[in-house]
Structure 1
Amino acid sequence: MAGPSLRLDSREQELVLEMVEVLGSSLNLGEVLEQAYGLMARLLPTDCAAMCVSQPELPGGYDWVVTRMPETFVTHYAELSAVDFVRQAVVHQPNIVLRDSEMVAPRALERTELYQRCHDIGFPMEHVMSVLLDPRGDWHGGLTLYRERQRPFSDKDRALLQRLTPMLVSTVRNCRLFGQESRRADLLDTLFHHQGGECIVLAPPAREVMRTAHATALLERWFSPLERGPGGLPLALLAPLAALAGTPGLETPPPDAWRREGRDMDLGVTYVPLPADLMGRRHWALVLRETPHATPVPEAWREKLTPREVEVVAGVLRGWDNQLIAEDLHCSLGTVKKHLQHVFDKLGVSSRAALLHHASRKR
């Protein structure tokens, strides 16, 4: 495992092997690094540590993956970053582990503004060791270890973290690249196999990426040729996405659900945001579902139920499952289940089937 400059005992070798296994165990960066840090802390005892990832062109946009730090440090870091000699040093030597003695002149640490301001906010930083994890892509990571006591990081500590650095770099790269695509694939698979629904994936404002097998027939059934634009996509469904085309932020809220009533059926369309692709482009999935006209909620029930419970009952009477009701009401699946149990108790029924039966008798 170790090169000639680093000698590890059997316990340390075992911990390094465990880290190698953990770092390749998942594409969830936070999950992997949390587990890996637990092992690293046994190899390199520290008082505090931080691991973040960011985009180089957005120096303030840090995603703190591991924080074993006083909360005040994280909350104040945006203002501390301007005087952070640690970041300024490692940026110029990516993938090279540096100690504080290699970042500032000997005995100059206590005179740095970062040192003084950290002590002002209650973080007694005494020694630092850090590395910029540069996978040569759009993202990079930073790992910094701190010791509060007068116990500097040794040559062996530095050599050990340097030995682990290529593994950490690979983890950042793989999780950022392949983890994102894996999440997109899982979500698309879920959408495309949703029972009773069809799906169209679009890149705003109107570029189609893919659609399920029966989506075309569904669109032709519900929209006349005059209502459909290029590619047969209904203009009414494209309009909300056109409004989003100039909004690059990934936290853009989805458009409201779209609905059209027919003679015997209704068509509902839900806009589902997908994770950005490798180029940072946001796609949207349009999930289309036909539902039969619902049995109306009996007036006698409305007097016993809260307005929210009436909405849940209306969803059941449309033939919707709990997940679809939750999406329509913009609440959690657990909330729908709680409302439904309250409905059963108030109306004296024991199941959805019984609820449907009693509603049909009261028409």
Structure 2
Amino acid sequence: MGMDLTFTSRELRLIREMEKRLRSVRTFEDIYAAIQEVMERICRADHLAVGFTRTDGSPGLEWVAPTVQPLLARYSVWAPQGCFVYQYTLDQPNKPARESQMLAGRSLESTETYERSRAAGLKLRHVLATLLFKTRQKFQGGLAMYKDSSREFSARDEALLEAFIPLINDAVSTVQYIEALRFKGDLLTALSMESWPGMVLNAMGRRIEETGTTRAVLNQWFTLNEFSHDVPSEWVDYVKWLSSLDGLLLPIERTLEKKRGRDTLKVSFKPSTILRPGCTLWEVRIREELHWMREDWARKLSRRQMEVADLVKQGAGDADIAQELKISLHTAKEHTKAVYKKTGAEGRLDLVTRGQRS
């Protein structure tokens, strides 16, 4: 464990129980519960906060921190520039540090973290924290202990936390794997409730999951240079805009349309039914409205002749067509004949049956 750590029999029982529980965790709450008693009793911490990277890849951490949650609200927004804890531990992966090391001579009271803690109704005076990395490229989360009392965290507390980081990291990896499987399963279940293709995007427009039929539709409607990370760029921009409104929009469905000849691609966006704390997800439903007539026949008809063919498809007779298009009965009959001649159809039934798009 680095330095020579000695424990009382009671402390050893707590540590062994923590190790046992960390090896069988299934949720982030399990991890918090497993380490809480050891950190609060052995290290005399008043508060414990454990944050985990989100399954959907969106920025920030998902915190389990019952007593300091107000301080961590929107942490990912202000921490990179305003939190001395985050700034220091980011350069020291898996290395716990006390505030005296992190502040390097500055006073705690001069920091934004301290000011925010006071504004949140907390009286934080000391901190021992680390960021958790499985590898240097795989960021897993963060852990912080706080004290309200004047007694500082010790070198012994620091060494104890460092000794358990590999075990905590393994537990985080286990839960994140379980969460990813469950999360993607839930997303696909939600998507499968509709008959048309769909996907789920995070607040940055990145794809989290999609149904199996989605990719074929997208490849029909968009060229390669119209994609950004496998998502149409216009959808990415639209989701970023929706997310930037931060609750100002009512949770209703919003739709974009893309036209291609007589065909339409309708794409609806609505907040996901799968909720993630502090994380905005968008369900995207993709529906093609394809013209009923086969393309080789449709290309032969003028705009007016296509209007006539559409009315024939709806069951209209010549008199109905004349009334609908505000033309004479004679003109309606001439248009109908022209449609049959150009398509090779032998009549109304043949036009609808053989002319149907496959």
Q: Return the TM-score normalized by structure 2.
A: 0.50
Computing the radius of gyration from Cα coordinates, the structure with the larger value is 2
Q: Return the TM-score normalized by structure 1.
A: 0.49
